[in-house]
Amino acid sequence: MNPVDIAEPLRSRWSPSVFDAQHQLTDAEITRLLEAAQWAPSSGNRQPWRYVVAVRGSAAHRVLVPHLSRGNSGWVPRASVVFLSVVELGQDGVELSDVLIPTHDVGQASAHLTLQAQAMGLHAHQFGGFDHDAVAAGLGIPDTARVLAGIAVGVRGNPAEVSERDAERDHRERHRRPLTETAFGTWGVPWPGLAPSGRTVAERD
């Protein structure tokens, strides 16, 4: 059972760590995921997101994999594709002074991509645990842009093929802070309209 009465595919989305290392996405499917990000809203419609598409086994994938953190090095390489999100801060020859809003916009575009994956019967797991500088250098990303996160996308695989640690992660309880800690009327004071029923623990389908 999943959390609360929110819309699909928000409701069923979660981040698995056991991907099928044989599954491949078609170029059309990958394009559809990118289109979901493309149609995200952004400040001034600047669309500051960029994605490096690292299909498993591709040159970009070979750049990424050696720089994954230890905790991510088992499960990320098995995903069918990794999208590396990048915020472009030097558009139209002008270095954007505000980093926060463009970074917010990239996060939102990545959320759209992640939810599109879920809607297509795929799974997505975002990750930040990798050597960003080494990956940026290896991919030739210019100084005006910053690598933010990876989004691993694929279908779920056989837990018997992965480490116990990665297999176990897919059975952990999912928790959230209660809304009383995140939704305020006056800063620090829960918004008084909150319904009392909000769940903070979810099981997986």
Ligand X SMILES: Cc1cc2nc3c(=O)[nH]c(=O)nc-3n(C[C@H](O)[C@H](O)[C@H](O)COP(=O)(O)O)c2cc1C
Residue 184 half-sphere exposure toward CB, CA atoms < 13 A? 6
Return the amino acid letter for 71. G
CB nearer ligand X, residue 44 or residue 128:
128
CB nearer ligand X, residue 128 or residue 198:
128
d(C-alpha 159, C-alpha 83), whole Å? 23
| Sign of the four-CA dihedral 16, 17, 21, 25 | positive
In the complex, which residue's CB is closest to ligand X? 129
Q: Where on the chain is the footprint of ligand X (CB under 6 A)? A: 14-15, 71-72, 126-129, 149, 174
Least distance between ligand X and beta carbon 90 (Å): 22
Least distance between ligand X and beta carbon 91 (Å): 22
CB nearer ligand X, residue 107 or residue 190:
107
Least distance between ligand X and beta carbon 23 (Å): 19
d(C-alpha 17, C-alpha 88), whole Å? 29
CB nearer ligand X, residue 8 or residue 44:
8
Task: Name residue 184's beta-bridge partners.
Answer: 190
The owner of tokens 């020859």 is 93
Tokens of 148: 């933010």
> Cβ–Cβ contacts within 10 Å for residue 142, how many?
9
CB nearer ligand X, residue 12 or residue 43:
12
Least distance between ligand X and beta carbon 130 (Å): 7
Least distance between ligand X and beta carbon 121 (Å): 17
Least distance between ligand X and beta carbon 189 (Å): 26
CB nearer ligand X, residue 18 or residue 96:
18
Element (H, E) at 81: strand 81-88
Tokens of 154: 């694929």
List for the chain the helix, strand, coil content (%; round to 5).
Answer: 35, 20, 45
